[in-house]
Structure 1
Amino acid sequence: MPQEFSGVTVVVPANVYFDGKVTSRTIKFADGTTKTLGLMQPGEYEFGTDKPELMEITAGKLGVQLAGEMEWKEYNGGESFNVPGNSKFQVRASEVTDYVCSYLEG
């Protein structure tokens, strides 16, 4: 996972969810791709997405239950998972968790 991104545009207003327990900033790349850099406080959250996503956990620990799956999977800093488009998914942050979300074509 990259430690920094060069040549990007940062959208100033933060994305704030769940009373500030999850926040992110949107960054845009010259090639038209978009990522968000986020931070989750410990807790359980449900997210929905229109586009497929790649979620990279940069620090912390996150339990994930994707739509249609019965079991939770655990991801630690340095690991990643894919989220299908047009779906909802559940997460459990057992500690402060830092992440990068890449929005994929699909």
Structure 2
Amino acid sequence: MPLQFDGISIIKKSNIIYGGYCINHSIKFKNGATKNLGVILPTEEPLIFETKVAERIEIISGRCWVQIGENSDVIIYYAGQSFYVPKKSQFKIISEEIIDYICHIEGH
């Protein structure tokens, strides 16, 4: 896994949601691809994210529990792993530690 992205534009204004438990920055590539690079802080309640387009969430550091869509299964993801969320769906995520992640936005 590369340690950096080259040739990108960064949106300076951060996206802060869930009272600061999730903070990210949008990055744009020359080919039109968009990704969000962010951090999720530890929380006792799951954070629920809704998707308009498909997303692949890559965990850079930390460990988290994820439930995707209507599926009742909760799966643990670790650094170096990723999970896919279909468009027009949602996922719930919870962690006891800081999570660094990249959200790869499909179709952009």
TM-score (norm 1): 0.96
Does the alignment pair 1:72 with 2:74? yes
CA RMSD of aligned residues (A): 1.1
Of 99, 103, 108, which aligns to 1:101? 103
Structure 1 stretches of at least 4 aligned residues deviating more than 2 Å after TM superposition = none
Distance in 2 between residues matched to 1:55 and 1:76, nearest whole Å: 11
1:85 equivalent in structure 2: 87
1:7 equivalent in structure 2: 7
Distance in 1 between residues matched to 2:55 and 2:86, nearest whole Å: 7
Tell me, which stretches of 5 or more residues in structure 2 are unaligned?
none
Matching of residues 22-37 of structure 1 within 5 Å: 22-37=22-37
Give the AA of the match of 2:52.
D
Tell me, which stretches of 5 or more residues in structure 1 are unaligned?
none
Q: Deviations over 1:24-72 (max 9, x none)?
A: 0000000000001010001120001101001000000111000111110
Residues paired across the two proteins, number: 106
Q: Tell me the CA shift for residue 12 of structure 1.
A: 0.5
Q: Tell me the CA shift for residue 2 of structure 1.
A: 2.1
Give the AA of the match of 2:70.
G
Q: Deviations over 1:61-96 (max 9, x none)?
A: 111000111110000011111010011111111210
Give the AA of the match of 1:84.
P
TM-score (norm 2): 0.94
